[in-house]
Homo-oligomer: A and B are copies of this chain.
Amino acid sequence: MTYQPPAPSALSAMLDTVKFDACGLIAAIAQQHDTGEVLMIAWMTREALQETLETGRVCYFSRSRKKLWRKGETSGQIQYLTEARLDCDADAVLLLVNQIGVACHTGRRSCFYRAFRPEGLVELMKPEIDPNALYGKKA
């Protein structure tokens, strides 16, 4: 499935439908389009969602750094958009993506790598990439 960006007029109308919260944000869930694996959750401003829909490359808004966060711009772990979906309340989006490499800053494929189990939190997956390699630090 190749992503097709919207026409400018359709894009503007769709963005007007989205209900950003008092901080101008919506929640965005990224799911690998073919395996169904939920990779991460992050946040988007209108500007981030617009850029994502225009370019087909996922751009979030970093609440800690207070700026646009083009996923993979530092780590190379880019998310290519397959389809974006809006929920019933228009305040969350589901991004079907093709995740290059890993989604998590710890080097794991998914950020949801710990399970609540009878004995406590259990790690379900190990890092596939050394985080130092992802962010250009020397080990």
Contact = CB atoms under 8 A, between A and B. Distances in A.
A117 B6 contact: yes
Interface in A19-43: 27, 29, 31, 35-38, 40-41
A139 interface: no
A132 interface: no
A87 B111 contact: yes
Nearest to A103: B88
Contacts of A4: 117-118
Say whether chain A's binding surface is mostly helix, strand, loop, or mixed.
mixed
Copies of this protein chain in the complex: 2
B118 A104 contact: no
Contacts of A5: 118
Contacts of A117: 4, 6, 10
A133 to B, nearest CB: 17
Given A29-B41, A106-B88, A120 B14 contact: yes
A138 to B, nearest CB: 23
A53 B57 CA distance: 36
Contacts of A35: 36
